[in-house]
Amino acid sequence: MADPVPLLIMGAGPAGLAAAQEAVAAGVGALLLDEQPTGGGQIYRALGEASGERQKTLGADYAAGAPLLGVLSDQGLDHQPGATVWEVTPEGSVYYTREGQARAVSAEQLILCSGALERPMPFPGWTLPGVMTCGAAQILLKGAGVFPARGAVLAGSGPLLLLLAKQLIGAGARLVAVVDTTPADNYRAALMHLPKALRTPGYLLKGLSMIRTLSASGVPWYRGASGLEAIGDDAVAALRFKVRGRQHEVVCGNLFLHQGVVPNVQLSRSLGLEHRWDELQRCWRPSLDDWGASDLERVAVAGDGAGIMGARAAEAHGRLAALGALKRLGVLSENERDRRAAGPRGVYRREILPRPFLDRLYQPHPDYLHPADDTIVCRCEEVTAGQIRKYVELGCLGPNQAKAFGRSGMGPCQGRVCGLSVSEIIAQARGVPLEEVGYYRIRPPIKPVTLGELATLEQPEDA
């Protein structure tokens, strides 16, 4: 393995790009590995190549990422797109595959910026072809300028549901319906967090604008929906649901689901970092200090991977994590670190003010945390919620034991999609807090790597 690089950043979303900017500004050569073909993460996906038409459709918050992208072409940064990281060690070794070739690199400081993924929304029929996430619809729009012009239903809860509706309506799509599953109780429960949220009112004003667009569009908007069921043989053909006890059915060719996003903890878990349960966001997040630093001296986590915070907060958080790493590298003095951190610290604090309100308002409906017995929760191995409950009856205590009972979490996605569902179902069935049940133990390789790729890995000289 070659000499260690001083700073290695994984993920080129807002946190990773901002961290790279801070490294370049401090004169430190950083390596930025990203799995996607172009930088920007999912939020600013393909922004560097997006046409005017695409930018117009996606709106100002998408175009706002442009100043971050400049660093990708800076001489001081080694940006490697299309790099799939499959192992990171606590000692700072990173193994990845790029262009069919396995590579190894070591770093003195690592910043994990692996972002968020969609929270699973299991209900009968959610595995049918034609059912996708709202994030997937946005990726189609950002990456390919493709959108569902007719026959689409949007279902679930959260800001992205409304944002996508607004963007698709703007693109000229004729949506069949928006089926909102936000429980009515959530509005009341979220109120106590409203005063704090109003101190950074931008998010709420944007939300109101989305609601106005959707209301004015004439698209049927069902609120308080529950008991979702997707119907179809080889593809989704309709969505059934209940509103105030009354059964509805809407015919659709595509169904886009959303119930918030959760941190992608695959890398931080594989490193054995401590994670704690966040009751308000109902997800796990790594335990970090004010600089995103973990209990491993070489490893920091920044952005949504550290806890859902949104793009602007993630950008500021990425700066703070980079400044912390530059201090640990001995590049910045404590005073200089703190001086450079003053701006981003203020942005971060301001941008996370609306989170408790949004997190409480959009807490998932219990139907999709504890789905009906016949619902597939592990899509890869086709394990149902009822099977998980049966394992608990037989003495299964947690998700790692559940693997041995019925292979949940052992398919190609390695538990990324079912992990939260399996833990929630076991906790409820056992009647214990989620912390006691825990999460899948994540082990490398965290992405599949072929023996052929492994054979291309250069052996370290001292091995």
Which residues contact other proteins (rule: CB under 8 A)? 35-37, 42, 46, 49, 51, 53-54, 57, 84, 97, 100-101, 117-118, 127-133, 135-136, 139-141, 143-152, 171-173, 234-235, 253-254, 264, 379-382, 411-413, 416-417, 448, 450-453
Contact 44, 69 (CB under 8 A): yes
Nearer to other proteins, 100 or 330 (CB): 100
Nearer to other proteins, 198 or 251 (CB): 251
Q: Within 10 Å of residue 454's Cβ, how many Cβ atoms?
A: 13
Rounded to an integer, what distance in angstroms lies between the CA atom of residue 121 and that of residue 255?
Answer: 12
Nearer to other proteins, 126 or 348 (CB): 126
Q: How far is the CB of 368 from other proteins (least distance, A)?
A: 15
> Which of the 8 DSSP states describes residue 332?
S
Q: How far is the CB of 441 from other proteins (least distance, A)?
A: 19
Contact 156, 121 (CB under 8 A): yes
Q: Is the dihedral of CA 439, 288, 89, 101 positive or negative?
A: positive
Nearer to other proteins, 118 or 351 (CB): 118
Q: How far is the CB of 183 from other proteins (least distance, A)?
A: 25
Q: How far is the CB of 254 from other proteins (least distance, A)?
A: 6
Nearer to other proteins, 21 or 421 (CB): 421
Nearer to other proteins, 4 or 151 (CB): 151
Q: How far is the CB of 202 from other proteins (least distance, A)?
A: 26
> 92-112 in b/e burial notation, b at 16+ Cβ within 10 A?
bbbbbbbeeebbebbbbbbbb
Q: How far is the CB of 405 from other proteins (least distance, A)?
A: 15
Burial of 74 per CB tally in 10 Å (0-12, 13-18, 19+)? middle
Token couple for 447: 């992405």
Nearer to other proteins, 127 or 215 (CB): 127
> 362-398 in b/e burial notation, b at 16+ Cβ within 10 A?
bbbbebbbbbeeebbbbbbbebbbebbbebbeeebeb
Give whole-number Cα distances, 82 to 32, 87, 318, in Å.
11, 16, 21
- In this structure, the chain runs to a length of 463
Q: How far is the CB of 264 from other proteins (least distance, A)?
A: 8
